[in-house]
Copies of this chain bind each other. A is one copy, B any other.
Amino acid sequence: MNDLSRTGTPHFAALTEAQCRELLEQHTVGRVGWQAPDGPSIMPVNYAFQENTVYFRTSAYGELSSLAQRSRVAFEVDGIDEASASGWSVLVRGSTEGVTPSWTLTSLWAEGPVPWAGGNRTLFIAITPMTITGRRVQAS
């Protein structure tokens, strides 16, 4: 599925989709990758993984607000220890949409992701996964 899993060395192990989902549920910070008008970009976000969907909250005036319109994105979460040269990463690829159903918004305002940053972050964006893949890496 990805570059590193193709090497055939014993140092990489693919994660199962169930393991990937568990890691997505356990963490709260990930990175959105998308094609901005001036090229690829990556931005960290606070997120929540609920009912097979990645939700994050952003400002209606910021760069990420363009993703309220349906867009292809990558979403990555990882846990990497530079000192021991080991870690894991999970990659979600899918498409975005702004969250508009009021019952979903009610639930997200109550239990959804809380950005660390203050300010007027009233736009919820959902990423519906098309693929979820992951791997572990360990130094020999």
Docked pose: A44 CA to B74 CA in angstroms: 13
Flag if A3 contacts B43 (CB, 8 Å). Answer: yes
Copies per complex of this chain: 2
Q: A3 is contacted by which of B11, B28, B38, B58 (Cβ under 8 Å)?
A: B58
Query: Which of B12, B42, B58, B138 makes the CB contact (< 8 A) with A91?
Result: B42
> Does B4 lie within 8 Å of A62, measured CB to CB?
yes
Question: Is the CB–CB distance between B11 and A117 below 8 Å?
Answer: yes
Pair A85/B31 contact, Cβ less than 8 Å: no
- List the B residue with the shortest CB-CB distance to A76: B42
18 chain-A/chain-B pairs, Cβ below 8 angstroms: A2-B62, A3-B63, A4-B117, A6-B61, A7-B62, A7-B119, A7-B121, A28-B82, A29-B82, A33-B40, A33-B74, A39-B93, A42-B74, A42-B91, A44-B78, A44-B80, A44-B87, A116-B137
